[in-house]
Amino acid sequence: MNKTLLRGWVWCKRFRKRCGYGVHSPSDFFFITFVIYEKLPFYAYSQLHHLRRLVAHLSGHREKTDKLFFRLVNYLHPKTIIEFGTGSGMTTRYMSEANSEVNIYTFSDESDPQVERLFASKSNIHYLNSSEFDIDKFVLSNGKPILYSIAHTDCYEDIYKKIIDNISDTDCLVISYPYAYKMKKQWWKNVINDVRTGVTFDLYELGIVFFNKKRIKENRIVNFL
């Protein structure tokens, strides 16, 4: 199916799941309304918009989605961000601009000169090869809470297995393109049902996973297309 038609079809299916309608949890309603759907023009958006053309040829999220990553960092205040699959690097830059103090480790199978230039002015971004990921070094020895992002990579299952048993209640995991293809869609369903995960938010383009076991486990479907 044509991507535009597919997005339109999914939007129609999720029409009643917009703007937090039907969500009775105050904290979930706040998250949907003031993080996912927030439309304020944050200070860094204009500058970042002009950088996008430099890496437009590389895999990356829509600008709307990158802005959500910016707001997530503002909302969660993570001490560390670990991103798997750097892609164009724009998402990484948005997260860095949201908090210049947070250490961001982004792993890619191979480096790209344009991405390196995109990161050159940001001392808090560490652009590393995927083979350098060591769970003891980058998970167990870094400050909590951690925001994990499984982004532009096909190794999502292996990465999830490596990090899931070291997750804390205050951590958050963002999964890009959970509906990309049949196998990943089934895996995303398994993540939602995993007893080690808590409240999840299904935005179609992103899956957002929280781990607070004090909360009743529930999957929130949100129309973010």
Look up the CATH architecture of domain 3-221. 3-Layer(aba) Sandwich (3.40)
Residue 2, pLDDT > 80, answer no
| pTM reported for the whole predicted model | 0.91
| 24: confidence class by pLDDT, cuts 50, 70, 90 | low
Which residue's structure tokens are 């560490």?
Answer: 126
Residue 85 and residue 107 in contact, taking contact as beta carbons nearer than 8 Å: yes
Residue 15, pLDDT > 50, answer no
- Return all residues near 96 (Cβ < 8 A) that are at least 6 apart: 102, 104, 122, 124, 125
How many CB atoms are closer than 10 A to CB 67?
22
Higher pLDDT, 67 or 1: 67
Q: How does pLDDT run across 75-119, given as a tens digit for each residue? A: 999 999 999 999 999 999 999 999 999 999 999 999 999 999 999
Backbone φ, ψ for residue 71 (5° rounding): -70, -35
Instruction: Give domain limits for the chain.
Output: 3-221
Span of 81-85, 125-129, 135-139 with lowest mean pLDDT: 135-139
Report cis status (omega within 30 of 0) of the bond before 41.
Answer: no
